């Protein structure tokens, strides 16, 4: 019985230890190198070429405790999304830029 308790305690500690590890960020693998979070648009374009599609939108920026007057326009931050189609047998890649810097890289069968 003592060995089972020790084994369970060790397993529980191992699981708790893994919870504290940082999440692994995705990277973009290209023929000219790789792109990672924190890279600039210029760096990604240089390493990976032009994307198949580009989209930009204005995401509202909210500041806690700062009420805006009625009808006032919300401040926003421009978000760019680039879609790379890496060919047959490969997942598509959506690269999201915030302030010109890679915020996230997501692989999937279809754009999100």
| 36-69 pLDDT, tens digit each | 899 999 999 999 999 999 999 998 887 777 667 7
What is the structure's pLDDT at 13? 46
With 0.75 as the threshold, say if the pTM is over it. Answer: no
What is the structure's pLDDT at 20? 40
Is 4 inside any structural domain? no
Q: Are 36 and 47 in contact (CB under 8 A)?
A: no
Is 74 inside any structural domain? yes
Minimal CA–CA distance to 95: which of 103, 78, 30, 110?
103
Is 16 inside any structural domain? no
Is 18 inside any structural domain? no
Q: Is the dihedral of CA 65, 70, 75, 80 positive or negative?
A: positive
How many domains, in total, are found in the chain?
1
Instruction: Quickly count: other Cβ atoms within 10 Å of residue 44's Cβ.
Output: 25
What is the structure's pLDDT at 38? 92
Domain containing 79 equals 24-108
Is 6 inside any structural domain? no
Instruction: Quickly count: other Cβ atoms within 10 Å of residue 22's Cβ.
Output: 5
CATH code (residue 39): 3.30.1450
Is 71 inside any structural domain? yes
């Amino acid at each position: 019985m003592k060995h089972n308790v020790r084994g369970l305690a060790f397993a529980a500690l191992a699981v708790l230890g893994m919870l504290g590890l940082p999440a692994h960020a995705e990277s973009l693998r290209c023929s000219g190198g790789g792109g990672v979070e924190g890279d600039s648009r210029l760096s990604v374009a240089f390493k990976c070429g032009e994307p198949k599609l580009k989209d930009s939108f204005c995401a509202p920026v909210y500041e806690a405790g700062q009420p805006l007057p009625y009808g006032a326009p919300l401040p926003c931050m421009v978000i760019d999304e680039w879609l790379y189609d890496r060919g047959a047998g490969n997942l598509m890649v959506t690269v999201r830029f915030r302030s010109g810097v890679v915020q996230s890289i997501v692989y999937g069968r279809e754009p999100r």
